């Protein structure tokens, strides 16, 4: 739905070709969410079907310019007014992966958390570097530069939240392991004590990295 309304918002500034809409959408978001041209024209076709946009003039070869209609402006205004619905969140692959891994024999859940934390902290470090570049030389001036900075900061905050959630997941697994009744080990049963030691080691290593990286990420 964000692409639908993103294109409507761009058309509210004036008629545009599909290729122009694609370029402007990616420019506003710093190419964080790249679009393929087929996706753009599919969305434009649905917007035209819903009478939210209409052709603007004759075709220029294979290209058609579009403009927003009054119905489109009303729907766009409503989109701006309404908060984004968080009661039906999109499916998060990481949450699904951990939910499936927990309780599955032979899956190293602690290893999944450790690998994901390293990846998330690296991404946060990269976003923070891009933010520093965006703030250099007096900071953003144009609307597109400000839009890109806002997107960057959202990515940084999201990465920080994910790192904290991974810490929480790791702590919860440790507490569950500590409450689990001791069982005699056989040659075919997993060594819970060894697994817990691995989680403790991963937690110590990654907490140290997390503290080092996040110390100034949101400054």
pLDDT-derived band of residue 122, with 50, 70 and 90 as boundaries? very high
**Cβ partners under 8 Å of residue 152, min gap 6:** 30, 127, 130, 131, 134
pTM above 0.85, yes or no: no
pLDDT-derived band of residue 182, with 50, 70 and 90 as boundaries? low
Tens digit of each residue's pLDDT (9 = 90 or more) over 50-83: 999 999 988 877 889 999 999 999 999 999 999 9
Question: What confidence score (pLDDT) does residue 187 get?
Answer: 43
pLDDT-derived band of residue 103, with 50, 70 and 90 as boundaries? confident
Tell me, letter by letter, the H, E, C secondary structure of 141-193: CCHHHHHHHHHHHHHHHHHHHHHHHHHHHHHHHHHHHHHCCCCCCCCCCCCHH
Lowest mean pLDDT among 26-35, 127-136, 169-178: 26-35
100 pLDDT higher than 80: yes
200 pLDDT higher than 80: no
34 pLDDT higher than 80: yes
CB of 210 closer than 8 Å to CB of 167: yes
3-class state of residue 99 by DSSP: helix
């Amino acid at each position: 739905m964000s692409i639908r309304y993103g294109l409507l918002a761009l058309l509210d500034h004036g008629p545009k070709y599909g290729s122009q809409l694609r370029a402007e959408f990616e420019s506003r978001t710093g190419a964080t969410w790249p679009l393929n041209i087929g996706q753009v024209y599919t969305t434009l076709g649905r917007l035209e079907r819903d009478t939210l946009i209409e052709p603007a003039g004759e075709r220029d070869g294979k290209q058609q310019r579009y403009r927003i209609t009054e119905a489109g402006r009303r729907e766009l205004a409503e989109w701006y007014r309404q908060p984004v619905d968080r009661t039906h969140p999109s499916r998060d692959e990481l949450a699904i992966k951990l939910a499936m891994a927990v309780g599955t024999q032979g899956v190293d859940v602690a290893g999944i958390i450790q690998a994901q934390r390293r990846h998330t902290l690296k991404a946060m470090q990269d976003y923070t570097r891009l933010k520093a570049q965006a703030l250099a030389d007096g900071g953003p001036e144009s609307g597109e530069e400000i839009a890109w900075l806002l997107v960057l900061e959202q990515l940084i905050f999201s990465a920080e939240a994910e790192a904290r959630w991974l810490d929480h997941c790791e702590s919860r697994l440790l507490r569950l392991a500590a409450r689990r009744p001791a069982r005699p080990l056989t040659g075919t049963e997993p060594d819970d004590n060894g697994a817990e030691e691995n989680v403790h080691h991963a937690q110590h290593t990654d907490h140290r990295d997390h503290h080092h990286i996040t110390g100034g990420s949101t400054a």
